[in-house]
Amino acid sequence: MRRTTAWMFMFVCVAVAGCSKPESGHGSTTTTAPGAIAFPDSWPYPSADTGVTAAHGMVATDAPIATHVGATVLRNGGNAVDAAIATAFALAVVLPAAGNLGGGGFLVVHMGDGREAALDFRERAPGTATRDMYIGANGHADDRSITGPLAAGVPGSVAGLWEAHERFGSRPWAELVAPAIALAEQGFVVDSDFAGAIRGDSARLAHFPASAALFLPHGRVPLAGDRWRDPELAAVLRRISASGQKGFYTGRTAELIAAEMRRVHGIMTEKDLAAYQAKWRDPIEFTYRGHKVISMPPPSSGGLTLALVAHELARFDVRAAPWHSPREINRFAEAMRRGFAVRNGLLGDPDFVTIPTARLLSQQYADSLSKSIAEGHATPSASIHVGGGATAEKQQTTHFSVMDGQGGAAALTTTLNGGFGSAVVVPGTGLLLNDEMDDFAAEPGRPNMFGLVQGEANAIAPGKRMLSSMTPTIVLGDDGKPMLVTGAQGGPTIITTTYQIMSNVIDYDMNIGTAVSAPRLHHQHLPDSLYYERGGLTKATLDSLTAMGYATSPQSPTGDLGYAASILRRNGVVHGASDPRVHGSAEGY
Ligand code: GLY
């Protein structure tokens, strides 16, 4: 079932005539020269946020309890991968909307001894999945890819964490699973984020008896201050602790998942579970302004699209344009537009689709895209064709960053896809199944509910991994050691957020707190809108962008453009920042 992707038929046709004089940085009284960044007065987060500092190592996540678990592993002598494993298991308990055992993700590592690797533990379509399985009676895809048993891909998280430990772990496996078992068994105090997340998805969760019993005890959303326990999840974790990968994909847990699938007419089987393997992939590597960048290859689109955007912008002297001036935004928006056109049309699971990675990573290819950028003008997306396609992924992912004291780093992004995934808790397990099947193109070549057309490269097939945007990324410093560990939550905005953190640090000398707090932008080719966070651009800047031809679309500054827990090592000091858009934390030693 290998298919050749039609990159050779790619053509870029640009309707905008010629290049006009570059815009000046006028129109904003709050953007400033590199090194002295000021945010608009309307922006809710501080520009002087320096983050948390430490001498040796750091963990930054979206959930303080999980951060503390990871930082404790570092303090006890564990390496970055050990800390990442313990943190990921803890997130499965304390952040059930996104942390998971029933989902999947990606890990990028740079070990203290210089070894680098990228691990794919993305979910796979079950063995009897079909290309048109979500097409309903009216001939169009319905929401069975979002809620309910058919939405779930075969989970990859436990296999990924096991595989990471087999290759890079230095502490005993059981020691890394133990904090999650204790959290699930003994419980923890619910905060307003935890309660709010359940409230937001309570109607979906109420639909499934085991989900309602777990998340809506006594028929109500837990209150901040309540104690939360998940003893059945603790039992699943105990089997994982005792038997590793096999403790999840075979035996009691696999039987319970398969039995529930049979009962509710899902299609995932014990055979699908037993066959699941995480895969080591060659990391995407490229250079950005002299720094080596290591990121995630397909089936995540993250690393390749990040490289495309970065390479497109290489032709410009980014620092010469003040941060968030209309001129800088114009260039960035056009690079995103073109990068996503390629991403949406050509990328998919590399085990099923031939992806011309070397060509896409070449400067020559990026130049062929960026030469049509007409400064001072928005290029209509309709005039850029790269095999067709667009993206409409869910946003409820979680990313965390780890740096150890031995020169090692781990960037891990994991998800159930939408908040609480498919909303299906498997009875007897306390674990949620993902709704990752929705990241496939359910109707290739036809507009989905958002009016978007997704590409054939990402069509459903048995055993295939769905395309992702997760972008766990490590940037090396001049000494060849990890300088920046970053990545994000937020569907397709993950990629553009990751670029902005990288550029904020490297191009504009921001500290990590400022880089993460800074207002963000996003363009994904289709819809043809430049997303910005409300309050993040001045009226004068917005007017300039409108004059260039941009349709600007305000988004909530509390997370519509994602969260990006990140770590920066600068001048021998480690700085960590969780994202102020969520109540996470950074903790070092
Ligand atoms: N489910 C979101 C992503 O994989 O990018």
Residue boundaries of the structural domains of the chain: 1-30+52-122+155-302+390-434+466-589
Q: Is 250 assigned a catalytic role? A: no
Say how many Å lie between the CA of residue 422 and the centre of ligand 1: 14
CA atoms within 13 A on the CB side of 69: 29
Alpha-carbon gap, residue 61 to 82, rounded angstroms: 15
What is the distance between the alpha carbons of residues 459 and 444, in angstroms, rounded to a whole number?
Answer: 6
- Name the one residue in this structure whose structure tokens are 């031809």: 549
| Whether residue 439 has its Cβ less than 6 Å from ligand 1 | yes
Among 32-41, 81-90, 345-354, 444-453, the minimum mean pLDDT is found in: 444-453
Mean pLDDT of all residues in 230-250: 98
Selected residue with higher pLDDT from 344 and 569: 569
Quick check: 71 pLDDT over 70? yes
Residue 427 CB–ligand 1 contact under 6 Å: no
For the stretch 548-562, what's the b/e string if a residue is b when 16 or more beta carbons lie within 10 angstroms of its beta carbon? Answer: bbbebeebebebbbb
Please tell me the predicted confidence (pLDDT) of residue 246. Answer: 98
CA of 488 to the centre of ligand 1 (A): 11
Q: Is 325 in the pocket of ligand 1 (CB under 6 A)?
A: no
Taking 90 as the threshold, does the pLDDT of residue 558 lie above it? yes
470 lines ligand 1 (CB under 6 A): yes
> What's the 546 CA to ligand 1 centre distance in angstroms?
30
Tens digit of each residue's pLDDT (9 = 90 or more) over 271-290: 999 999 999 999 999 999 99
Whether the CB of 397 sits within 6 Å of ligand 1: yes
Give backbone dihedrals phi and psi of 399, rounded to 5 degrees, phi first. -120, 145
Residue nearest to atom 3 of ligand 1 (CA): 468
Q: How many CB atoms lie within 10 A of CB 224?
A: 12
> The pTM is what?
0.93
- Residue 524 Cβ inside 6 Å of ligand 1? The answer reads no
**Percentage of the chain with pLDDT > 90?**
83
- Site to probe by mutation for ligand 1, drawn from 415, 493, 561 as the one with most ligand atoms within 8 Å of Cβ, is 415
φ, ψ at 5 (rounded to 5°):
-75, 140
**32: pLDDT strictly greater than 50:** no
Closest atom of ligand 1 to 470 CA is: 5
CA-based torsion, 325, 330, 331, 337: positive or negative = positive
CB of 497 closer than 6 angstroms to any ligand 1 atom: no
Instruction: Give the Å distance between the CA of 470 and the centre of ligand 1.
Output: 6
Return the residue whose CA atom lies nearest to atom 4 of ligand 1: 468
User: DSSP 3-state assignment of 288?
Assistant: strand
DSSP alpha helix (H) spans, 379-492: none
- CA 300–ligand 1 middle distance (angstroms): 8
Average pLDDT (353-375) is: 95
Give the atom of ligand 1 at the shortest distance from the alpha carbon of 466.
Answer: 4
What is the rounded CA–CA span in Å between residue 327 and residue 333? 10
Give the residue-averaged pLDDT of 516-543.
96
Does residue 489 line the site of ligand 1, with CB under 6 A? no
Interval between CA 123 and ligand 1 midpoint (Å) = 11
Q: At 497, which amino acid appears?
A: T
Percentage of the chain exceeding pLDDT 70: 90
Tell me if 469 CB under 6 Å of ligand 1. yes
Q: Using CA atoms, how far apart are residues 462 and 272, in angstroms rounded to an integer?
A: 10
Catalytic residue of the set 147, 253, 305, 397: 397
Cα–Cα distance, 498 to 181 (Å, whole number): 32
Count helices and strands (H / E) in the chain.
18, 25
Binding site membership of 393 for ligand 1 (Cβ less than 6 Å)? yes
Nearest to 333 by CA among 374, 368, 303, 297: 374
Give the pLDDT score at 20. Answer: 28
DSSP helix/strand/coil, 554: strand
Residue 469 Cα to ligand 1 midpoint, Å, equals 5
CA distance 60 to 57: 10
- Is any ligand 1 atom within 6 A of the Cβ of residue 417? yes
Which positions ≥6 away from 547 have C-beta within 8 Å? none
Residues 180-232: tens digit of each pLDDT: 999 999 999 999 999 999 999 999 999 999 999 999 999 999 999 999 999 99
Distance (angstroms) between ligand 1 centre and the Cα of 492 equals 7
Average pLDDT over all residues of the chain = 90
Task: Say which CATH architecture domain 1-30+52-122+155-302+390-434+466-589 belongs to.
Answer: 4-Layer Sandwich (3.60)
Q: Ligand 1 pocket, 492 CB below 6 A? A: no
- What is the sign, positive or negative, of the torsion defined by CA atoms of 365, 371, 375, 380? negative
Q: What is the pLDDT of residue 330?
A: 98
| Exposure string for 24-60, b = 16+ CB within 10 A, e = fewer | ebebbebbbeeeebebbeebebebebebbbbeebbbb
Which range (258-262, 305-309, 391-395) has the least confidence?
A: 391-395
Residue whose CA lies nearest to ligand 1 atom number 1:
417
Residue 103 has pLDDT above 90, yes or no: yes
Task: State mean pLDDT over 59-81.
Answer: 98
pLDDT(178) > 80: yes
The predicted pLDDT at position 345 comes to 83
For ligand 1, mutation pick of 391, 438, 494 (most atoms within 8 Å of CB):
494
Task: Tell me, in angstroms, the distance from the centre of ligand 1 to residue 440's CA.
Answer: 10
Reported as a single tens digit per residue, the pLDDT across 390-445 is 555 555 799 999 999 999 999 999 999 999 999 999 999 999 999 999 999 888 76
Please name the residue whose Cα sits nearest to atom 2 of ligand 1: 491
- For residues 95 and 176, give the distance between their C-alpha atoms in angstroms, rounded to a whole number: 17
CB-ligand 1 contact for 468 (6 Å cutoff): yes
Which of 4, 92, 128, 139 minimizes the C-alpha distance to 412? 92
Residue 553: pLDDT over 60: yes
Copy the structure tokens of residue 228: 């939360």
Is the pLDDT assigned to residue 89 strictly greater than 60? yes
